Amino acid sequence: MLRLAVRVRRADAELVLAELLELAPNGVEEVDLGETVEYAVYGPPGELPALPDLRAAAGAALVDVSTEEIADDWTERWRAFHQPLVLGDAITVRPPWEPARGTSIDLVIDPGQAFGTGAHATTRLCLELLLQLAPGGPFLDLGCGSGVLAIAAAKLGWDPVIAVDNDPAGIEATRANATVNGVALEVTRLDLRSDTLPAADTVAANLLGPLLRTWAQGLGAMEWPQRVIASGLLVSEADRIAEDFAAIGLKKIVRRADREWAALVLERSP
């Protein structure tokens, strides 16, 4: 296993991250180093992005590119990386090896090899916004990953809850995590760009900015929901994406940011 890291100037981090996510769509590890930010991906040598691609993506913002072989204690280091997410006394999202924290809702999420436990800023923003909303009616987790948002929605009181993803690993992980947490979900593989989505009153769409724009511009046919929680977008993309949703009648009512990431709540006017 190798770790391939790119360090870039913080001032250019948003733009570089957007380019890196095109090369590594499963996500990157982010390390704050003060004036610079380090983004890292893990994998066997043949599965990592090529160095020329990384250098091109980082451009003039590049500070350093490094590759290191992961030590034999990688399993323990990997476990240490996945820390619980605790939102006040409301909700905990934790890996199976961490103890419960005594919050009202306790979610146990196995990060597996391709997903986290919900601690990334984009998922955390979605959960914070979910906690502010009145639950009820059908809920759709669009791009469910490991199922964190769908499972949280079911625990909070939305019903039925549907989880969809185009990645078979995501479907498998969501089903397994739903079973562990004792919730009933409808889990289906689906391609946003070509398939019709299930109807739902509330949709959580933790996707990358370009895919959110594609959906908002109508290429993913569906009956438009009453409310969308849109996350996975960079702060620099938020206003443009809000405008795309406004064009189909979903107005921004809440915007929240965490460093370079942003999340929106958009609602249809009565």
- CATH number of 83-268, picked from 3.40.50.1400, 3.90.1570.10, 3.40.50.150, 3.30.70.270: 3.40.50.150
Specify the fold of 2-75.
Alpha-Beta Plaits (3.30.70)
pLDDT for the residue 77: 64
pLDDT of 12 reads 86
Alpha carbon distances (Å) from 116 to 29, 79, 98, 124, 248: 10, 11, 14, 11, 32
**Are the C-beta atoms of residues 68 and 45 closer than 8 Å to each other?**
no
Query: What pLDDT is stored for residue 44 in this prediction?
Result: 74
Distances (CA, A) of 2 to 33, 74, 81: 21, 10, 16
- The whole-angstrom separation of Cα 231 and Cα 265 is 9
List the domain boundaries for the chain: 2-75, 83-268
Length of the chain: 270
- Match 């590890």 to its residue by tokens: 29
Averages of pLDDT over runs of 10 residues in the chain (270 residues) are 88 83 74 87 80 90 88 63 88 93 94 63 93 96 93 97 90 94 96 87 92 79 84 92 93 93 91
Flag whether the pTM goes above 0.85.
no
Q: What 3 state SS string does the chain have?
A: CEEEEEEEEHHHHHHHHHHHHHHCCCCCEEEECCCEEEEEEEECHHHCCCHHHHHHHHHHHEEEEEEEECCCCHHHHHHHHCCCEEECCCEEEECCCCCCCCCCEEEECCCCCCCCCCCCHHHHHHHHHHHHCCCCCCEEEECCCCCHHHHHHHHHCCCCEEEEECCHHHHHHHHHHHHHHCCCCEEEECCCCCCCCCCCCEEEEECCHHHHHHHHCCCCCCCCCCEEEEEEEEHHHHHHHHHHHHCCCEEEEEEEEECCEEEEEEEECC
pLDDT at 224: 83
